[in-house]
Structure 1
Amino acid sequence: MSTTVSARPRPRGTPGGVQRRRERLTAFGMVSPAVVLLLCFLVVPVALAFGLAFTSARLVSPTPAHFVGLENFRLLFHDPVFARSLRNTLVFAAVVVPVQAGFGLALALLVNTKVRGTTFFRTVYFVPVVTSMVVVSLVWLFLYQKTGLVNHLIHSFTFGLVTGPDWLNNPRTSLPAIIFMSVWQGVGFHMVIWLSGLQTIPVELHEAAAIDGADRWARFRSVTWPGLRPTRAFVLITITIDAFRLFTQVNVMTQGGPVDSTSTVVYQAVHTGYDQQQTAYASAISLVFFVIVLAVSLIQRFLTREKD
């Protein structure tokens, strides 16, 4: 005679239920520091910037802030300094993104070989990345001086026929000088990213292409470049974001000058918000800049997406 035992639901407070609650509390305790940091340094500042952009708030003012609607944005789009800063930012990004990505890929291809000394060159190329941007900017500030090393090398290599300009005090050369320094400082990081992508491509594909008689350029075009599609998208997006948030080099080396020739959107927002204490206007600049960067990133992501 067989008996059937019906499964009864485990009552609340049993060891299994207590264990699950402990696991949830443990998970919440482990994630809570990150959540608090995100709220304090990302969500709250973004919300404040969005709200302040529509007010007359100042950093220090006896007059309380009041709602002004789109007045800050109207002033912004008629501000010649903002137009110059936006143009400088776009020029910087348009030059740095392809040049830094191209040089990074070239260096990755050079060090992606099994020859003696490869590790040494990988380290040398990566040293500027781990150096503080403030330190790098100060070093290049001295190199770019009228009597600095850059002009001394130009004078020596041209046998005294060419005299270098005062790079950072000339409106025509100040932004190109910062562009060159920025590419030099950041190319090592993207070299490592490209290198990691190169090492994910199976060696058998290169060997098969070589057996078929393909030369190096043909192997790069048909094997290497298609295999770098995910890496390519990541590199382009990260370089673009870094280029748009250009600030440290300008703040240390030129302070936006001469004649706003190196002023960028981020530098103008910080300068306006803290030095001029126009918090609401700086928030409007930041909000417009956020929309521009978001649009560029989405377009870039769409163009580099995986296609079926």
Structure 2
Amino acid sequence: MSPAAILLLVFLIVPFLMAFGLAFTDQRLIPNPNLSTQFVGFRNFVRMFQNETFRRGLLNNFIFTAVVVPVQTGLALLLAILVNQKIRLSNVFRATYFSPVVVTMTVVAVVWFFLYNPGEGTINAFIQAISFGRLGPYDWLNDPKLAFPAIMVLSIWQGVGFQMVIYLAGLQEIPLEVYEASSIDGANKIQQFFYVTLPMLRNTTIFVVIATTILAFKLFVQVDIMTRGGPQDATMTTMLHVINEGFRNLRVGYAAAVTVVFFLIVLGVSLLQRFFLEEERTV
């Protein structure tokens, strides 16, 4: 068996099968010696779909993915094109845009928590300054209408550098001769972008979109640190629901059921994305 197959078996297949088995039991994180683990059939799955918190978290995951993936992908491509230009200090700009990626999300979330502070936060101060006091201050993380968009802005800012580097590598693989030939044929910069750059970045875009989608569905750290899923479950996510049920409420069996369903959903979305993107490429 190859090393790749061993890693896949140990870190993906075996954990999934274990979670699948636990999903049909009432297993708790701290077992009760006087109460053995019981097989409960599909009870955990029925409770899961009847649970309003789970449904809200899953909906938030899809909303987050639908907003963050296209915005982050578009910004990453724009930044990659900008830093790919032969200008002075281009390496400085590349390092600056990529620097948030190397900072742990925990640190980023804490910093942005203070930036969003309604009393002394820099963001509110900036909004009030440019509006001459007519706008703000806003309680970003305690307002049900603002909390989730605030999390989205943080996430886009933190992750866009990762996609930018991937796009930058793709741009640098495009031969200059292709652009020179298109210029001879009379193509301007905009036409070169749509008919040369984008088609030759198709494989890169497929990877970026699928990777960003998977990362978006894993939304947890920033929500757990900044809002704990509140206010009124406005920022609840499936991963946070799993952690709350499995480790804070000790209901491992139920958490395993949520994990199994969520894994299958993310897998299905990723496969559909790949299918449609591949179909578009062959057209």
- Bin of the TM-score, shorter chain as denominator length: over 0.9
Q: Give the corresponding residue for 1:134.
A: 106
2-structure distance, mates of 1:38, 1:236: 22
One-letter amino acid of the structure 1 residue matched with residue 67 of structure 2? V
Q: Does structure 1 residue 268 correspond to structure 2 residue 238?
A: no
Larger radius of gyration: 1
2-structure distance, mates of 1:277, 1:41: 23
Q: Give the corresponding residue for 1:302.
A: 275
Matches within 5 A, 1:152-163: 152-163=125-136
One-letter amino acid of the structure 2 residue matched with residue 155 of structure 1? Q
Correspondent of 1:182 among 143, 152, 155: 155
Q: Give the corresponding residue for 1:213.
A: 186
Q: Does structure 1 residue 104 correspond to structure 2 residue 79?
A: no
Q: Deviations over 1:88-137 (max 9, x none)?
A: 11110000000000000000011111111111100100000001110000
Q: Give the corresponding residue for 1:281.
A: 254
1-structure distance, mates of 2:245, 2:51: 12
User: Secondary structure of 2:151's partner?
Assistant: helix
Q: Give the corresponding residue for 1:6.
A: none
Q: Give the corresponding residue for 1:21.
A: none
Task: Report percent identity of matched pairs.
Answer: 49
Identify the structure with bigger relative contact order (alpha carbons < 8 Å, sequence gap 6+).
2
User: Secondary structure of 2:144's partner?
Assistant: coil
1-structure distance, mates of 2:10, 2:183: 55
User: Structure 1, unaligned stretches of length 5 or more?
Assistant: 1-27
One-letter amino acid of the structure 2 residue matched with residue 99 of structure 1? V
2-structure distance, mates of 1:203, 1:41: 42
CA 1:162–1:70 in structure 2 vs 1: closer, same or farther (change >3 Å)? same
TM superposition shift of 1:44 = 3.3
One-letter amino acid of the structure 1 residue matched with residue 282 of structure 2? K
Q: Deviations over 1:171-217 (max 9, x none)?
A: 11000000000000000110010111111111111111111221111
Q: Does structure 1 residue 45 correspond to structure 2 residue 15?
A: yes
Matches within 5 A, 1:111-150: 111-147=83-119, 148-150=121-123
Correspondent of 1:87 among 59, 80, 89: 59
One-letter amino acid of the structure 1 residue matched with residue 89 of structure 2? G
TM superposition shift of 1:227 = 0.3
TM superposition shift of 1:266 = 0.7
2-structure distance, mates of 1:149, 1:178: 16
Q: Does structure 1 residue 203 correspond to structure 2 residue 176?
A: yes
2-structure distance, mates of 1:41, 1:225: 35
Correspondent of 2:225 among 252, 261, 267: 252
Q: CA RMSD in A?
A: 1.6
2-structure distance, mates of 1:190, 1:93: 15
User: Secondary structure of 2:282's partner?
Assistant: coil
2-structure distance, mates of 1:182, 1:152: 21
2-structure distance, mates of 1:295, 1:191: 26
Q: Deviations over 1:121-176 (max 9, x none)?
A: 00100000001110000000000011211101111111111113110111110000
One-letter amino acid of the structure 2 residue matched with residue 204 of structure 1? E
Runs (4+) of structure 1 moved beyond 2 Å?
37-45
Using structure 2 for the length normalisation, give the TM-score. 0.94
Correspondent of 1:170 among 125, 143, 161: 143
2-structure distance, mates of 1:165, 1:238: 33
Q: Deviations over 1:38-69 (max 9, x none)?
A: 65544432222110101111112421111111
User: Secondary structure of 2:206's partner?
Assistant: helix
One-letter amino acid of the structure 2 residue matched with residue 51 of structure 1? G
Using structure 1 for the length normalisation, give the TM-score. 0.87
Correspondent of 1:225 among 178, 198, 201: 198
User: Structure 2, unaligned stretches of length 5 or more?
Assistant: none
User: Secondary structure of 2:96's partner?
Assistant: helix
Q: How many residues align?
A: 278
1-structure distance, mates of 2:20, 2:137: 46
